[in-house]
């Protein structure tokens, strides 16, 4: 299955590998369409991840029709503190008049088809413990694949990712997709990038050290 993150949630192309091997025309056509979309999104700067049950996400450069799932994540941007401050003031000004809308917006969003599809992808990729964290604590803890005692706390809503080492917050990270995505897809995006290429993730993110 190929899943492409977008503002509509995740768009999907599915096929059965056994049918492809047997020469089924519909399955073969689905693989060709998935490969076309893969190359098209990669040309736009998207990052591809192979997802296998029980294994960390793996970043891939070429289409693999044998993968159980491939997830394409849109290109990322790394926002500076000045831009965040400016955006914060804009949001505050906009919030003054449509206060009722802002209060009820999360409930309306959760009913949209895009949010439902994004939530489906999120719950497919989270462990049961991570699902409980998301519901009860409002964040997902993603263990570092390279450093013991380091975890990343990814918030359910948009915001900073906290880096926790030995039980203490040491850093906040800011990474956002170029394309507007549902909140659940943003959580998936962070999880995949951390698991597949933590070093690249840390190199590109804007970092803000936590001080006591």
pLDDT of 32: 92
DSSP 77-89: E---HHHHHHHHH
pLDDT tens digits for range 162-183: 999 998 999 999 887 777 788 8
**Furthest C-alpha separation in the chain:** 63
Number of H helices, E strands in the chain: 8, 12
Residues 6+ apart with CB under 8 A from 7: 114, 179, 180, 181, 182
The pTM of the full predicted model, rounded to 2 decimals, is 0.68
pLDDT of 52: 85
Residues 6+ apart with CB under 8 A from 193: 47, 73, 76, 175, 200, 201
pLDDT of 152: 94
Sheet holding 139-143, edge to edge: 139-143, 150-155, 161-165, 168-174, 206-209
Residues 6+ apart with CB under 8 A from 14: 1, 2, 30
Read off the tokens for 18: 């056994």
pLDDT of 63: 92
Beta strand pairing call for 176-177 and 76-77: antiparallel
Read off the tokens for 54: 């029980």
pLDDT of 33: 92
Please list the ranges in the chain whose pLDDT falls under 50: 80-84, 87, 91-92, 95-104, 107-108
């Amino acid at each position: 299955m190929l899943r492409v993150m977008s503002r509509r949630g995740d768009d999907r192309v599915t096929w059965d590998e056994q049918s492809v091997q047997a020469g089924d025309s519909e399955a073969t056509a689905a693989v060709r369409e998935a490969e076309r979309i893969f190359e098209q999104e990669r040309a736009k700067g998207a990052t591809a991840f192979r997802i296998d049950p029980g294994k960390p996400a793996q970043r891939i450069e070429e289409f693999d029709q044998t993968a159980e799932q491939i997830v394409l994540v849109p290109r990322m941007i790394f926002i500076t503190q000045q831009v965040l401050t400016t955006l914060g003031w804009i949001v505050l000004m906009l919030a003054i008049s449509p206060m009722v809308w802002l209060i009820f917006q999360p409930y309306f969003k959760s009913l949209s088809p895009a949010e439902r599809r994004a939530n489906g992808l999120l719950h497919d990729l989270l462990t049961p413990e991570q699902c409980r964290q998301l519901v009860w604590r409002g964040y997902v803890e993603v263990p570092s694949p390279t450093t013991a005692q380091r975890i990343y706390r990814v918030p359910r809503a948009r915001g900073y990712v906290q880096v926790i080492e030995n039980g203490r917050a040491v850093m906040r990270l800011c990474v956002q997709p170029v394309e507007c995505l549902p909140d659940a897809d943003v959580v998936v995006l962070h999880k995949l990038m951390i698991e597949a290429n933590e070093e690249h993730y840390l190199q590109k993110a804007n970092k803000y050290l936590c001080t006591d």
